[in-house]
Structure 1
Amino acid sequence: MKIRLFNQNILSAGLIIGLLMGLNSCYKTENTTAVIHVLDSSTNSAVSGAQVELLYIAGDPNSTSIHETQTTNNSGDAFFDFTEQYKAGQAGFAVLDIRVNGTYKGIIEINEMVANEETVYL
């Protein structure tokens, strides 16, 4: 009788611990990335070697400024990873200006935990 009760207590404790560990690992953050595709406006072909900047300059000193620069590859793509800057539970991430070779080309809305893409033309 005592052994049976002891076994039930061990089983119950193990079940509770397993359940707590399982619930703790349910929320996983995915990567927050952006790809800017740079194309030539007259030929619609990829532009390699273009300098792409994504930036947000905060007017409020308590806000975080973002200024990231990448160079396009042979396919005309510049890749940005904002995973480290995203905080889990945060609603939305950022709307950033796009500059290519120093010229303003538009904006991109960066949504959290997805691959964001935008195409710009030179």
Structure 2
Amino acid sequence: MSYLSHVILATAIGSISLTADSCVKKKDTIAKVTVLDQDNNRVSGATVQLIGEPSTGTTGHGAVNDPKVTTTNDQGEATFNYNDIYQLGQCGVAVFTIKASLGGAVGNGIIKVEQQKTNEERVFL
């Protein structure tokens, strides 16, 4: 094989390797909070808020620091999608304060959200 053939072969193999790496599909980064009453029953219609705490030494507001709010479904679950925060190949964890309420009942908690996983936590009202 000539030198030129080796160069072409090496270039082709390198191109295939780069293409294969770029086909990795990013998985969803989800925070799921289940709201329960004192009798361990799931609570639908509760308001759930996730509030991110800024990291030490950071300034300004980013997507993690902006609170997200939703209502629990019939199974008592509130689901938050954080795909907009995590990029493929990025490492990191975000910690959110959970505030849940329905009527006069209030519950609090903390959830650690890791990238490309469904992260789950329970809160009692």
TM-score category of the 2 structures, normalised to the smaller one: 0.7 to 0.9
Alignment partners' CA distance in 2, 1:16 and 1:53? 47
Alignment partners' CA distance in 2, 1:16 and 1:73? 48
Larger Rg: 1
- Give CA deviations for 1:84-112 in whole Å, capped at 9, x if unaligned: 11133433231100001283511011111
For the residue of structure 2 that corresponds to 1:58, the secondary structure is coil
- Which residue of 13, 18, 24 corresponds with 2:16? 18
**Aligned residue number for residue 85 of structure 1:** 85
Percent of pairs identical after alignment? 34
* Residue 46 of structure 1 pairs with residue 45 of structure 2: no
Aligned residues: 117
Uncovered stretches (5+) of structure 2, i.e. residues with no partner = none
For the residue of structure 2 that corresponds to 1:66, the secondary structure is coil
Could you say if the C-alpha distance between residues 13 and 77 of structure 1 is closer, same or farther in structure 2, counting changes exceeding 3 Å? same
Alignment partners' CA distance in 1, 2:24 and 2:112? 24
**Aligned residue number for residue 123 of structure 2:** 120
* Residue 107 of structure 1 pairs with residue 115 of structure 2: no
Q: TM-score, normalised by structure 2?
A: 0.75
* Residue 56 of structure 1 pairs with residue 56 of structure 2: no
Could you say if the C-alpha distance between residues 36 and 70 of structure 1 is closer, same or farther in structure 2, counting changes exceeding 3 Å? same
RMSD across aligned positions (CA) = 2.7
Is 2:50–2:97's contact at 8 Å kept on the other side of the alignment? yes
